Amino acid sequence: MSEISPWLAAPYETLLRWQANNRLPQSAILLGGWEAHCIHELIGAFLKHAFCQTQNACGQCQSCQWVNSVQHPDWLIVQGTGKLGDIGVEQVREVVPLLQSQPTHAPFRLICIADAHRMTESAANALLKVLEEPPNRTYWFLVTETPSRLLATIRSRCVTLDCRGDNDTIEGWLSAQTNVDKSVCRLALDLSGTPTKALALLTADTRFQLVIDNFVVLDSQKSLDWLDELMGRYGSEFCLSAMALGLRRYADRITNEQLDVLTRLWWHFSTKIQITEGERARQLLHELWIRWQTELAKP
């Protein structure tokens, strides 16, 4: 239990309770990103509990070791392949013959579909067929951040468990991990949307906090270099968000008139940047930045 991320504690308890009461739903949507919210970690912790040969999540027995190394014969993970990460119909069909047999080492079989919204239409239809006649002792976890992209007929068969956690818990965790002020962690979370991406941003880009804190104070060339680097790493829309959030934090240090002008400039450029990319987007970002600097330099 101690190793589980704090925002997963509540869904973890729910899974344990469902299992203890024999109420594990045949199919469930786990709301969150497979990697981005560490849902794989949540499921691993749950299965160690459910599959352990000593019924104690001991971490030592064969079952626990299999779960740890994601090799338990009764735990299947269907994941997207290829450039687009799509989950094809063959991948769903591969699972079907297994369903004829009973689970081999555990009290039940669990099949996880990671980022389930990536199923192609035919994959989704194949899954629906299986869910319509669910085999005994087999459970399905569909992990996705965007359940609206699943077939409505699949959604209606699933119980939803929200595993995304509340922002306050996540910000506290980020702050403890990075020793960075909670308000900056909030900004990173706003920008990147998920705990693991925010952590990557806070640890990979050591200048992140510096730049946010000294938003417009840094000299121009350094700021432009930083923008280029951020753009190369995260894209132009990310830079626009970073600038908007930076401006919001900077707002109490400038006059209302300046804030108004800077905000209007941001809107003006952001509509242009959103319909372009590459070098042109980079130029527009630079132009916006320089226009901001010019406005702020006015007496």
Q: Give the distance, in angstroms, between the CA of residue 237 and the centroid of all CA atoms in the same chain.
A: 18
Instruction: Give the integer Cα–Cα distance in Å for 107 and 124.
Output: 27
**Nearest CB to Zn ion, comparing residues 52 and 242:** 52
Interface residues with Zn ion (CB under 5 A)?
52, 58, 61, 64
Query: Which of residues 74 and 115 has its CB atom nearest to Zn ion in the complex?
Result: 74
Tokens of 143: 């992990």
The nearer residue to Zn ion, 36 or 52, going by C-beta atoms, is 52
Closest separation in Å from C-beta 53 to Zn ion: 5
Residue number with CB closer to Zn ion (56 or 294) = 56
- How many angstroms separate the CA atoms of 255 and 295, rounded? 11
In the complex, the smallest distance separating the C-beta of residue 72 from Zn ion, rounded to whole angstroms, is: 11
- Residue 4's nearest CA partner among 40, 33, 34 is 40
Closer to Zn ion by Cβ: residue 52 or 158: 52
The residue assigned the tokens 């350094």 is 222
CB of 62 to Zn ion, least distance (A): 8
Task: Determine contact, residues 93/30, Cβ cutoff 8 Å.
Answer: no
Instruction: Report in angstroms how near the CB of residue 56 gets to Zn ion at its nearest.
Output: 6
Terminal-residue alpha carbon distance, the chain: 58
- CB–CB of 63/72 below 8 Å? yes
Q: How far is the CB of 52 from Zn ion (least distance, A)?
A: 3
